[in-house]
């Protein structure tokens, strides 16, 4: 699963899931031992994150929703992906 971005110890990953478990566009994020799966509007689908990191992740998602959707389409069609700017 490719890493799209990394910031403040948070690693954001995504894979296209055409015809798989989730058909809803989503990302996977890891922070230390915590893992979370979220859609691009900030809804938690699975897992949990510490409050501070969840706020950072939600801010990043809000800033990059269009890029996340573009990557979802690329990955779901097998056309690769591109990196997304980290939160500064």
- Calculate mean pLDDT across residues 69-77: 92
Q: Is the pLDDT confidence value at 74 over 80?
A: yes
- Three-class SS of the chain: CCEEEEECCEEEECCCCCCCCCCCCEEEEEECCEEEEEECCCCEEEECCCHHHHHHHHHHHHHCHHHHHHHHHHHHCCCCCCCCCCCC
Q: Is the pLDDT confidence value at 22 over 60?
A: no
pLDDT score recorded for residue 56:
97
Q: What is the pTM of this model?
A: 0.90
The model's pLDDT over 28-53, given as tens digits with 9 standing for 90+, comes to 999 999 999 999 999 999 999 999 99
Question: For the chain, which residues make up each domain, given as ranges?
Answer: 3-76
Alpha-carbon dihedral angle through residues 53, 57, 59, 64, given to the nearest 10 degrees: 160
Q: Is the pLDDT confidence value at 17 over 90?
A: no
């Amino acid at each position: 699963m490719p890493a799209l971005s990394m910031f403040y110890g948070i690693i954001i990953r995504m894979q296209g899931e055409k015809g798989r478990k989730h058909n809803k566009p989503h990302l996977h994020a890891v922070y230390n031992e915590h893992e979370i799966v979220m859609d691009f509007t900030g809804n938690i689908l699975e897992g949990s994150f510490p409050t501070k990191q969840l706020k950072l992740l939600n801010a990043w998602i809000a800033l990059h929703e269009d890029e996340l959707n573009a990557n979802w389409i690329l990955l779901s069609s097998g056309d690769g992906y591109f990196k997304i700017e980290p939160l500064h």
